[in-house]
Amino acid sequence: MSERVKQIVPDLIEAVRNVLRDHKVTFDEYRAGFGYMIGVQEAKEIPLLLDALLNSTIVEIENQTRGGTKADIQGPYYLDENYPLVTKALAVRPEDADAEDMIIRGCVTDLAGQPVSGAEIDIWHSTPDGLYSGIHDNIDRKYYRGRVLTDADGHYSVTSKTPVAYQIPNQGPTGELLEKHLGRHSWRPAHIHFWVRCVGKRDLINQAYFEGGDYVGNDCCETDHLDLVVPKIYENGKRVMQVNFVLEPAYTISAG
Ligand code: DHB
Ligand code: FE
């Protein structure tokens, strides 16, 4: 890592310096930027700001070397812990009982089209009113998060409630930058997050979107990943999100 740091950081600093030079940034402007960064830290929005601005670029780089299904941004709301193993249903918050039912299902295959069984898929998404459990409003982290395993045929299926288009927190410095200073909006299309893992396969972090949904293709986080926009299909009144993943082999590290 330290070799990479030595390669990257001087270039990063020089790139920033060139922007300062090009725009003849004044001392007052420099101090204002400084103050902005302190505000981001105080609002605990470092993950939000960085993911909103830069995660999509890291994914773009990753996808240049990725076979099978392309990846998408993780976003700041994955909880780094063991997700509860679920077989049939993600836990639904009691007050969401009347929200639209959703089935998330699909299959995992390898590059040759063979089913991948025993893959672990962490799934997480917002409440039907656009909040993340474990992050916002003290919603218990057990809701709308779970880990499913693919069966012998590579299939998985789990029920939940349909999320809506999602506004990233816009009361703090991230929202201020996007909306007030850059004239952008702070909305993401409704989405479901996935992290697919299987021994011998390259991890895949992904998101699925709802065809025809607001902000699809106009995401404030600027991900242009539109491979997993799922057609609008209903079965018995339930929105079906058919999300398939093709996994490529894991990297092999050659012994020098
Ligand atoms: C971001 C991404 C998300 O998926 C989300 O729900 C909120 C914010 C982000 O990249 O900032
Ligand atoms: Fe999200």
Residue 32 lies in a domain: no
Ligand 1 neighbour 174 (Cβ under 6 A)? no
Q: Higher model confidence: residue 178 or residue 256?
A: 178
Per DSSP, 164 falls in state -
Residue 99 lies in a domain: yes
Residue 97 lies in a domain: yes
Residue 140 lies in a domain: yes
Number of domains present in the structure of the chain: 1
Residue 129 lies in a domain: yes
Q: What is the pLDDT of residues 147-205, one digit of tens each?
A: 999 999 999 999 999 999 989 888 999 999 999 999 999 999 999 999 999 999 999 99
Which ranges of 2-137 would DSSP assign to H, the alpha helix?
2-22, 27-42, 46-50, 56-63
Helix (H) or strand (E) holding 242: strand 238-242
Centre of ligand 1 from the C-alpha of residue 179, in Å: 16
Looking at residue 220, which CATH number applies to its domain?
Answer: 2.60.130.10
Write down the pLDDT at residue 27. 98
Residue 112 lies in a domain: yes
Asked if 245 contacts 68 with a C-beta cutoff of 8 angstroms, the reply is: yes
Asked if 146 contacts 158 with a C-beta cutoff of 8 angstroms, the reply is: yes
Residue 122 has pLDDT above 80, yes or no: yes
pLDDT bracket for residue 252 (50, 70, 90)? low
Q: Which of 40, 45, 48, 144 to mutate to test the pocket of ligand 1 (most atoms within 8 A of CB)?
A: 48
Centre of ligand 1 from the C-alpha of residue 58, in Å: 14
Q: What is the pLDDT of residues 45-100, one digit of tens each?
A: 999 999 999 999 999 999 999 999 999 999 999 998 789 899 899 999 999 999 99
Residue 17 has pLDDT above 70, yes or no: yes
Write down the pLDDT at residue 251. 75
CB atoms within 10 A of CB 99: 17
Residue 235 lies in a domain: yes
Q: What is the pLDDT of residues 144-162, one digit of tens each?
A: 999 999 999 999 999 999 9
**Angle (CA) 136 106 189, round 5°:** 40
Q: Which of 195, 221, 224 to mutate to test the pocket of ligand 1 (most atoms within 8 A of CB)?
A: 221
Residue 38 has pLDDT above 90, yes or no: yes
Write down the pLDDT at residue 7. 95
Write down the pLDDT at residue 73. 93
Q: What is the pLDDT of residues 209-236, one digit of tens each?
A: 999 999 998 999 988 677 899 999 999 9
Ligand 1 neighbour 48 (Cβ under 6 A)? yes
Residue 9 lies in a domain: no
Ligand 1 neighbour 51 (Cβ under 6 A)? yes
pLDDT bracket for residue 110 (50, 70, 90)? very high
- 191-221 in b/e burial notation, b at 16+ Cβ within 10 A? bbbbbbbbeebbebbbbbbbeebebbeebbb
- Give the predicted TM-score (pTM) of the model: 0.92
* Domain extent at residue 154: 43-247
Centre of ligand 1 from the C-alpha of residue 77, in Å: 7
Q: Which tokens belong to 184?
A: 């952008």
